[in-house]
Amino acid sequence: MYSVLCRRFSHLQRTLSLVNPVVPVAEPISSFFLNGSGLTRWVSTSPCLFAEPLKKKKRLDPAIIKAREDRRRRKLEKQIRRMEKTAQQLKPLQELEVPVSIVDTYYERLRQEIKISPEEEESRWLLQKDWARYMFRVNSAELRMIDRILASQQKALEELRKESKNYSITLLNL
């Protein structure tokens, strides 16, 4: 079928260029009818793409390149100078001083260490273990659900492939 299309396409191009010499041979025919095997099908072709050399990169003047780099360097130096100036600024003493009332109540505000009984430690440990088991079950259920979804997706794709094969075979037999 491809060779028939190529032959007809090249023949039509030659006849077009003979009839109208202004039309170049390389001009594509956008679409035409093909009558083959008892069916009339609409065949559309894309335009021919002939290779042409790549555009050369524009050569920049070395002075322009140097000027750009100098500008970039000066801009960076200026930013560094600004950062150094802001780093030298000292904070006011009021921000550094801790109020006396806070210093006086420091020991009052300290938290006491809580002593946990062995029974409480064991119950916390068991609770943590139960939580780990629960989260494992949740994660496993999510993974199983994802696996089921992927399997059903694959099954649907296989069915679609079978149907499309059957559909294409029946079309070819017509």
DSSP 1-14: -HHHHHHHHHHHHH
Distance, CA of 66 to CA of 77 (rounded, Å): 16
Q: Can you give the pLDDT at residue 39?
A: 47
CA neighbours closer than 13 Å in the CB half-sphere of residue 50: 6
Tell me: do 128 and 171 sit in the same domain: yes
Same domain for 70 and 37?
no
102 in a structural domain:
no
- Where in the sequence is the domain holding 76, given as residue range(s)? 60-89
User: Are residue 133 and residue 172 in the same domain, yes or no?
Assistant: yes
**In total, how many domains does the chain have?**
3
**Is 110 part of a structural domain of the chain?**
no
Q: Is 31 part of a structural domain of the chain? A: yes
Does a structural domain hold residue 108? no
In a domain? residue 115 = no
Within its chain, how far is the Cα of 91 from the centroid?
46
Hey, CA dihedral for 88, 89, 92, 95, is it positive or negative? Answer: negative
Q: Euclidean distance between the first and final Cα of the chain, in Å?
A: 17
pLDDT at site 19: 47
> Is residue 104 one of the residues assigned to a domain?
no
Could you tell me if residue 12 is inside a domain?
A: yes
Quote the CA–CA distance of 140 and 144 in Å, as a whole number. 6
Place of tokens 């002939």: 50
CA 60 to mean position of chain CA atoms: 34
Q: What is the pLDDT along the chain (174 residues), one digit of tens a residue?
A: 445 445 555 555 555 444 444 444 444 444 444 444 444 455 566 666 666 777 777 787 888 899 999 999 999 999 988 888 877 767 666 667 788 888 899 988 888 888 999 999 999 999 999 999 999 999 999 999 999 999 999 998 888 888 887 766 665 665
**168 and 136 both lie in a single domain:** yes
Q: Are residues 64 and 30 in the same domain?
A: no
Residues 174 and 172: their CA atoms lie apart, in Å, by 5
3-state secondary structure of 133: helix
Question: Could you tell me if residue 50 is inside a domain?
Answer: no
Q: What is the pTM of this model?
A: 0.33
Let me know whether 37 and 9 are in one domain: yes
Sign of torsion, CA 62 63 68 74? Answer: positive
Do 38 and 65 fall into the same domain?
Answer: no
- Between CA 6 and CA 13 the distance in angstroms is 10
